[in-house]
A and B are shown apart, each in its own frame.
Chain A
Amino acid sequence: MQFFLNAPMIGFYIISLCILGCAVMLLSFQRVIYMALAIGGVFIGCAAIYILLGADFVGAAQLLIYAGAITILIMFAIMLTNHEAADPPHKWTPRNILSAVGAVLLGAVLLLVIRSTTWPPAVDADVNGGNSNPVAVGLALFQNYTVPFELVSLLLIVGMVGAVILARERKEDEDE
């Protein structure tokens, strides 16, 4: 079992531990603002996993969009609403028990299926076709996925305009 000892595997296990630790902290913190910090850790860990897998551009996009923009957006939302909000101490209500049982069951089934499947051995596959990773992603985006790419830009415009309209202060709200 020599692959347990090489450097990428050790890095992978450390990063996985960080991601899962941050995710568990997200569940266990009481203060909402600490939960937002924990989710930032999860996003940065995922970016590290992508870069470890050779997906440099996805890793950079993850860092910029998730760890940068979305985490800050969430913090702004928390600050604009009641930022003192805190969850009450965790109790085993029927809803919590059912959710935990469902999540654990789903996780067990998924892990069993993953374990019982024989995956092809991880090879040093060259997915980039000789180019650097960002060049390969750009070529794929503009040669094979041009229409989805343009549609996504439309979606972003619609989402941005919708967010501005929804979050705008309106006159009739003040009358109430």
Chain B
Amino acid sequence: MSGTFPIPTGSLLALGAILFCIGLYGALTKRNLIIVLVSIELMLNAANINLVTFSRLGVAPNISGQVFALFTITVAAAEIAVGLALLLAIFRVRRTTEVQDLDVHKH
């Protein structure tokens, strides 16, 4: 068991916040649909860092935060599988993965 090291909470939360903002910028500006999905995964990872950080705090520090992080990881795996399957289905019809080419009215 490696134990917990006293890393200040503020630094960890700041790392999560910056990672979340980078993911948000990527999700809003990237043109490739795969990279937009990846940016959303980045934001989920930032939330996971916060969950694991908060698991050490509180009146009675317990393991719930880590369990929540595990649930988030599982849901993210399901989400990316369905998202990439949708992307393949779209690519088969439209022959493109660019976000702006998927607009129905322009097609």
**B70 CB–A CB distance under 8 Å:** yes
Q: How large is the interface on A (under 10, 10 to 19, 20 to 34, 35 or more residues)?
A: 35 or more
Smallest beta-carbon distance A172→chain B, Å: 10
A15 to B17 alpha-carbon distance, docked (Å):
15
Tell me the residues in window 111-125 of chain A with beta carbons closer than 8 Å to chain B beta carbons: 111, 114-115, 117, 119-125
Smallest beta-carbon distance B16→chain A, Å: 9
B78 adjacent to A156 (CB under 8 Å) = yes
B9 adjacent to A122 (CB under 8 Å) = yes
When distances are taken between beta carbons in the complex, the residues of chain B under 8 Å from A122 are 6-9, 56
Give the dominant DSSP class at A's interface: helix
Smallest beta-carbon distance A16→chain B, Å: 5
A50 adjacent to B87 (CB under 8 Å) = no
B45 adjacent to A152 (CB under 8 Å) = no
Tell me the residues in window 90-105 of chain B with beta carbons closer than 8 Å to chain A beta carbons: 91-93, 96-98
B66 adjacent to A3 (CB under 8 Å) = no
Q: How large is the interface on B (under 10, 10 to 19, 20 to 34, 35 or more residues)?
A: 35 or more
Determine which of A23, A95, A114 lies in contact with B22 in the assembled complex, contact meaning CB atoms within 8 Å. Answer: A23
B42 adjacent to A159 (CB under 8 Å) = no
When distances are taken between beta carbons in the complex, the residues of chain B under 8 Å from A104 are 21
A65 to B35 alpha-carbon distance, docked (Å):
18
A163 adjacent to B84 (CB under 8 Å) = yes
When distances are taken between beta carbons in the complex, the residues of chain A under 8 Å from B62 are 127, 129, 140
Q: A77-B88, A124-B3, A163-B81 are in contact. Are A66 and B38 (CB under 8 A)?
A: no
A62 to B66 alpha-carbon distance, docked (Å):
12
A-B contacts, 25 of them at CB < 8 A, read A26-B38, A27-B30, A35-B38, A43-B45, A50-B52, A53-B53, A58-B69, A58-B73, A66-B45, A99-B24, A103-B25, A104-B21, A107-B18, A107-B20, A110-B17, A114-B13, A120-B57, A122-B9, A127-B55, A128-B1, A144-B67, A152-B75, A158-B78, A162-B85, A169-B92
- 7 interchain residue pairs of minimum CB distance: A159-B78, A8-B5, A107-B21, A125-B61, A99-B28, A54-B4, A166-B85
